[in-house]
Chain A
Amino acid sequence: MAETNKPGNAEDEQVVLTAVDEFLAWGKENSLFYLLFATACCGIELMQAGGPRYDVDRLGMIPRATPRQADLMIVAGTITHKMAGVVRTLWEQMTEPRWVVSMGSCANSGGPFSKWSYSVLNGVDKYVPVDVYIPGCPPRPEALIDGVMALRERVRIYRTIGERSKEPHVVQGGDCRFGGHPGKEPLA
């Protein structure tokens, strides 16, 4: 019928065609609820990133107090061997697809504690798979947002069926003693 194809026809204009996965990925990418999980001074930077100046809320990132409502776990701070089991439990309680950002030198590799400490876990990736590493001691909120933007790329290409990239992303940067410090020129 010719009449139904006219511009302004209600049936035509209210339909958007897309793949389900793309639509879901778009939704997930723009609502990365994160688990508030701060164990050391990186947590201060994480809170700062959630505050009004950096305001990750505008990226759809709302802090959640329970892993069951969270898509993203930002491991912000030193993880001891005693705490590592708790991290693993929290991660297991998150629903798929779940993402992990390792924030700061301690979560990446033990940081300043890696040599002399008997109790600190040298890298949270020994217990949970990490998608993005953010160097810094602690990383600035800009670096965290940089890492989140990289993670959003991964969330966008994530498909329900298919392989998920095992290769982690590392935020680049460079002058901090225990890791990178994006947002500053490297020291000579």
Chain B
Amino acid sequence: MTALPFAELAAKVSAAVPGVATEQSENGQPFLRVPAAALLDVATLLRRDGALQFDALMDLTGYDRLKFPAVPPSDAIAVVYLLWSYTLRHRVMLEVQAPRAACTVPSVSGIWPAAIYFEREIWDLLGVQFTGHPSLHRIMCPDDWVGHPLRKDYLYPAEYHGVSHLREGQHFEGAPRRVGDPQPAPTPAAKAPAKGGHA
């Protein structure tokens, strides 16, 4: 009953499942990059293997890599799995990427039931289709909501059920573009984006 360091853990997973790569996040935290096709194999291994025993899916989240800082522009949506073993007291992070156009990732809800709610949230906010999910529908936005709000190219709604979003005469400088707004003028390439500003 010993916690595995990340290197051993990664070696074990890479040996068992081809295509799994070890990478480091910007703040130096190592994680496993898993191809979407191999996710279920990796997840089953992590859950069932006697030396791994990742019995808890602590968090399942995602982010849009469009306009993501410090990497080349990418059209992918990333889904991040944070796993923890209560028995062996070690943890690991997985990242799966799916292209925006065909954003499909296999569901791990059969392995960790906690994923049912997490995956609904990611579907709702980022529009990732989890195949094999028992009931993939919106969890935060209303059922008839249009679009996935945390996508960075999300177009804000102008109204909902006939109730306009902004108050009469309300105008905000630099506010997100809404449905029906005119197309923004193309910004000159020379103009660098403001540091730390909203995209």
Contacts and interface: CB of A to CB of B under 8 A. Distances in A.
Interface of A: 81-82, 84-85, 109-110, 114-116, 118-119, 121-123, 126-127
B196 to A, nearest CB: 15
B161 interface: yes
8 contacts: A84-B163, A85-B161, A116-B176, A118-B149, A118-B154, A118-B157, A118-B165, A122-B165
Contacts of B165: 118, 122
B142 interface: yes
A107 to B, nearest CB: 13
B71 to A, nearest CB: 24
Contacts of A115: 172, 175
Contacts of A114: 166-167, 170, 172
| Closest A-B pairs by Cβ, 6 of them | A115-B172, A81-B160, A82-B142, A118-B156, A115-B175, A122-B167
Contacts of B160: 81
Interface in B129-156: 141-142, 149, 154, 156
B142 to A, nearest CB: 5
Nearest to B155: A118
Given A81-B142, A81-B160, A82-B142, A122 B176 contact: no
A127 B164 CA distance: 11
Contacts, number: 37
- Specify the main secondary structure of chain B where it touches its partner: loop
B2 to A, nearest CB: 46
B142 A122 contact: no
A109 B149 contact: no
A75 to B, nearest CB: 15
B198 to A, nearest CB: 8
A121 B159 CA distance: 10
Contacts of B157: 118
Nearest to B143: A82
B150 to A, nearest CB: 10
A80 B91 CA distance: 37
Nearest to B173: A115
A122 B141 contact: no
B167 A81 contact: no
A127 B162 CA distance: 11
Contact of A122 (B149, B156, B166, B198): B166
Nearest to A81: B160
Given A116-B175, A118-B156, 9 more contacts: A81-B160, A81-B163, A109-B170, A114-B172, A118-B154, A121-B163, A122-B165, A126-B163, A126-B164
A59 B122 CA distance: 48
A110 B172 CA distance: 13
B197 to A, nearest CB: 12
A64 to B, nearest CB: 27
Contacts of B170: 109, 114, 122
Nearest to A120: B165
B168 to A, nearest CB: 10
B157 to A, nearest CB: 6
A91 B114 CA distance: 36
A119 B148 CA distance: 12
Contacts of A126: 163-164
